[in-house]
Structure 1
């Protein structure tokens, strides 16, 4: 027999995948229950409403992204490499992004469109990315430009994900990654030049 905590985790994982592939509004309780292969009664034991599931999915996404950023902090020994990890995620997840867009961006956009009460909570993921990127740019010595640089990279990633989904063009994604990495090198060179002067 599957433990209650494991069933709950399976429900959240299934809902996470379905919300990404189909959208929150297009996914029903029945869709999620069918994906997990449990009865509606067992389903309602864990979650009474779809909004409860949405909050659990957002919590999962926040936790997963915190773990990912922490891993990059541990494994990449300098800020430039950590920012590059963030930039290259559009290539690492290219197949899914071309099919469904960015999992973070698509959810925040959908919740904003329907003025859902959980939209601010979903936006915490974007804020998490923005704050983390700002920290990396500060480490590079970008000072007061750190926030602007962080938002530039975050906006770039969302734009590339949107166009990757629209056009399904791998070469475009790779070109854009190359361009933003060149921009990053220029930012670093400018910062180093300012230190010399």
Structure 2
């Protein structure tokens, strides 16, 4: 395995452990053990846990951008793109019920620690916020696009938090359905489908 591949593996393992156990509770030794490296070889790639955290955040940013770009290409309608975001809750419900939202949990922990990387982690939310706002603007809601984007983020984070607390798949599905109905109602009246009652 090349040095670059080893580094990528370290970051992937650290990302998982930070998510499952928390940044503070995860040690260098934990990461090295899971990767299968000696401490000496490990230090060749990263000198501190903060260096690994920075790499994890950058990897998450790159993965999130790639995901959002894929949604842009796959779904022509902005409402369908927003729906893709909302349905993350269902697609990842097992992980969310076990460990919460990976973005929310990391941001919360780093904020409590007053860690220097807390603002870097929050960029993940900013990335989602900006992307959602663009979709709402494309939907015809330019004036309040950012407000609507924050509302979707707030709802999804609330659902993730309660899903972790109650481990209730039905709750997640009900909330996602409710968010999708809400999304339908945000479309300008002229663009909503009209259903005519038969004579």
Normalised to the residue count of structure 2, the TM-score between the two structures is 0.95
Distance 1:191 1:158 in 2: 31
Unaligned runs of 5+ in 2: 193-199
- State how far apart, in whole Å, the 2-side matches of 1:164 and 1:117 are: 29
**What SS is found at the alignment partner of 1:117?**
coil
Aligned length: 192
Q: Determine whether 1:48 maps to 2:47.
A: yes
- Measure, in 2, the Cα distance between the counterparts of 1:162 and 1:190: 33
Q: Which residue of 1 aligns with 2:156?
A: 157
Mapping of 1:81-92 within 5 angstroms?
81-92=80-91
Q: 1:15 to 1:191 in 2, by over 3 A?
A: farther
Whole-Å separation in 2 of the counterparts to 1:78 and 1:186: 15
Query: Per residue, is there more helix in 1 or in 2?
Result: 1
- Matches of 1:15 and 1:146, distance apart in 2: 35
- Cα distance in structure 2, aligned partners of 1:133 and 1:99: 26
Structure 1 Cα separation of the partners of residues 104 and 149 of structure 2: 16
Over aligned residues, Cα RMSD in angstroms?
Answer: 1.0
Q: Deviations over 1:124-155 (max 9, x none)?
A: 00000000000000000002111110000011
Name the structure 1 match of 2:7: 8
Unaligned runs of 5+ residues in structure 1 are none
CA contact (8 A) 1:140 1:191 kept: no
CA offset digits 1:39-62 (Å, max 9, x no partner): 000000000000000000000000
